Amino acid sequence: GALLRVDGRPLKLQTPVLLTDLKPGEHHFELLKAGYRTWSRRLPLTLGHVVSVPVRLEPDTSTLAFPEDQRLLLGGQSARTENKEFRIPDGSYRVRSVGNTVEFAPVFPDQTLLDATVWSLPVVSTLSILASLGDLSTHDSAGFPFSPTTVTSWGFVVGDVLWSVALNNSKVRFLNDHQLQIDPLPQARRAAASLFEEGKNALANGRLPQAAEAFAQIVKSYPDAVQTPGAWFYLARLHALEGDRALAKSEFRIDADYLQQANYYDKSCKALADLDQADGELLQAVNRLRSMVFVDPLFTRQEIEAQIQTLENQIKGAKR
């Protein structure tokens, strides 16, 4: 269940939806639930009026699926991605994809301070040791052998050590909090994934009508599935092969202009540019090529720039 706090005090005995004993005026409400972001709002209450506030809690994790990869790495955890989705705590990550493996490395917010401490501690310690040796070599009385400067430098060393320990403990807690939560794909997503594989297998075996039927079922029944951009892309290719360029263009535009999934964005832009070029719409083709982001390793900037140059030369020639 969720915890409701009113003006900083947790609500224990009262029903959260009926707070009849609250005095008129502005009150601060907070709703807390594990796994979700805290909902917080100040509401003015008036005597004799009932206030109804719908609340939708946002999860404090991001839910991801990786249909084109086979393995996911995060914080030392490794898991196969087939028929699974992954809830990853919100935050900054370094993402690296190698082959069929995608690796997420959480970025510790205070890593720069921790690195600075690692470098500064040996330097400050060395200076303090040298200062201590210098004081001892010149000390010739029975009093305290170390100068105020040396004592201060050792104070910096102790402070640096304590700061380093605190930062390391904070990093350990941070990494422990950034662990994968693995769930099976909901039934709808499993069905979409199954249909997508069915469509790709049909394509590979030359059974184009069966492939089109599978992809059409995905876009119709599972419009929010992670496989939907791929289904639109393959449908567009099939319709282009059949000679229906207008329909193919409209389907490629869904991927390029709206869904914009990394796996199919560049492919759709390139396909649209090629169709526009074939239809004589050269300027549109150039604009499509310039909108590519080259996240897809299938394309290189040099190749696309060469095509753009060819198109621009054709445009200039047509104006003469």
Q: What is the pLDDT of residue 229?
A: 93
Handedness of CA 275, 205, 213, 194 (dihedral sign): negative
Distance (Å, whole) CA 32 – CA 121: 41
> Which residues, including other chains, have CB under 8 Å from residue 193's CB and lie 6 or more apart?
67, 83, 185, 225, 227
Q: List the Cα angle 14/17/23 in 5-degree steps.
A: 65
Q: What is the pLDDT of residue 68?
A: 56
Q: What is the pLDDT of residue 33?
A: 78
Handedness of CA 74, 76, 80, 85 (dihedral sign): negative
Q: What is the pLDDT of residue 16?
A: 46
Q: What is the pLDDT of residue 132?
A: 82
**Distance (Å) of CA 121 to CA 66, 91, 124, 134, 136:** 43, 29, 5, 20, 22
pTM above 0.75, yes or no: no
Question: What is the three-class DSSP state of 225?
Answer: coil
Helix (H) or strand (E) holding 300: none
**Distance (Å) of CA 71 to CA 3, 94, 154:** 37, 16, 49
Q: List the Cα angle 24/27/31 in 5-degree steps.
A: 135
Write phi, then psi, for 248 (nearest 5 degrees): -60, -45
Q: What is the pLDDT of residue 12?
A: 64
Are 266 and 293 within 8 A, CB to CB? yes
Handedness of CA 183, 188, 192, 197 (dihedral sign): positive
Say which CATH topology domain 185-319 has: 1.25.40
Q: In which residue ranges of the chain is pLDDT below 70?
A: 1, 12-21, 34-35, 48-52, 59-69, 75-76, 83, 140-143, 180-186, 188, 320
